Amino acid sequence: MRLALYLWLLTIEVHAAGEFRTRTARVVGGQRIDVEQQPHMVNIRRRGEFRCGGSLVTPRCVLTAAHCLVNGAAENPSDYVVRGGVTYLRDMRNARVVSKILLPAKYNPLTLDNDVALLQLQNPLQAPEVAPISLAREAPRPGSYVRVSGWGLTHEQSTQLPNQLRSVQVQVLSQHGCQRLYAGYRNITQSMYCASVPGIKDACDADSGGPAVNAAGQLVGVVSWGKANLCARPESPGVYTSVAHLYEWIANNMDKYCY
Positions marked catalytic: 67, 115, 208
3-state secondary structure of 36: helix
Number of neighbouring beta carbons within 10 Å of residue 234: 11
In angstroms, the CA 146 to CA 241 distance is: 13
SS3 257: helix
Neighbours of 198 (CB within 10 A): 16
Element (H or E) spanning 43, and its range?
strand 41-46
220 vs 52: CA distance, rounded Å: 18
H helical segments located in the chain: 175-181, 247-257
